[in-house]
Structure 1
Amino acid sequence: MNLQDPVHKKVIGISFIVFSALWLLSMAFFDTFMDFFVDRAMEESGGDPDVFFIFDIINSIFWGLTILFFIPRLILGIALVSGQKWANIPSLVYGVVSLINFPVGTALGIYCILVFTAKKPEEDY
């Protein structure tokens, strides 16, 4: 199997786009759910809004992680699909980082490592 074929990089790019879009949608759902939850809790308790600041902190941490990991991965996926050469090394880094996301991220990370570290096949003489 020739891992230097550009099709492999496009497959990785499409998977980066799909997984990043799913994570961004799930974060938007989580944000909406948390806002709804906090509003209902404040209505029922009639309490001070300063008590629920911890939910804002948690929400901010999750959005910070989303911006740090998934928006760049979305940009890298678009760059890989369009064939940009600059996206190879950052995609390898994100592939290594995705090894901790068991099981799908691990498979994608191994595939990224294989594709981006593959050497050109020597031609037969």
Structure 2
Amino acid sequence: MKQNNFKELEKHVTMLGWLHLGLNLFTLFIGVLVFFILIGAGMLSGNGEAMSVLALVGIFVLGILVLVSIPGMITGWGLLKRKSWSRLLALIIGFLSLMNIPLGTLLGVYTFWVLLAHDEANDYFVAYST
């Protein structure tokens, strides 16, 4: 592998790691925000039943977004630490991110471009794992 290609790929993998981490932290933030908005709306209604229902919906939404965000944050951390397993996980998360229009789609396409279009990508992660 050429040293120049190695450095170029290293920049892209670092950027990819931060993007996975950032987008999934943003998703987690949205979940927390929706949770508090729903709790606040329930409290403003003054109706005990509405407050209970909105609290359950808020917990459900937050739970789903936490479950969706955790693998992406682990992927970002793995890419930043150059873990060998992170390449496969990033490809899986990148594929699943394609459905999250528009930011997830951009992240998925960038993930595929970095990890599949560069012939050195597999060697790059193997070199760091040894």
Corresponding residue for residue 32 of structure 1:
36
**Corresponding residue for 2:17?**
13
Q: Which residue of 1 aligns with 2:75?
A: 76
Counterpart in 1 of 2:58?
Answer: 59
2:98 counterpart SS class: helix
State how many pairs are aligned: 115
How far is the alpha carbon of 1:65 from its aligned partner?
A: 1.7
> Partner letter of residue 75 of structure 1?
I
Which one scores higher on RCO, CA 8 angstroms, separation ≥ 6? 1
Name stretches of at least 5 consecutive residues in structure 1 with no aligned partner: none
In the aligned structure 2, how far is the partner of 1:27 from the partner of 1:51? 20
* One-letter amino acid of the structure 2 residue matched with residue 41 of structure 1: S
- Are the structure 2 counterparts of residues 62 and 78 from structure 1 closer, same or farther at C-alpha, using a change threshold of 3 Å? same
SS in 2 for 1:5: helix
- Could you tell me which runs of 5 or more consecutive residues in structure 2 were left unpaired when the two chains were aligned: 121-130
Percent sequence identity over matched residues? Answer: 22
TM-score (norm 1): 0.77
Deviation at 1:16, TM superposition (A): 1.0
Displacement after TM superposition at 1:51 (Å): 4.5
Deviations 1:81-123 (A, max 9, x none): 11111111111111011111222221211111222223526xx
Q: TM-score, normalised by structure 2?
A: 0.75
**Counterpart selection for 2:27 from 23, 30, 34:** 23
SS at 2:119 equivalent? coil
Q: Given that residues 36 and 58 in structure 2 are in contact (C-alpha distance below 8 angstroms), is that contact kept between their aligned partners in structure 1?
A: no
Q: Which structure shows the bigger proportion of residues in helix conformation?
A: 2
Structure 2: how far apart are the matches of 1:107 and 1:51?
38
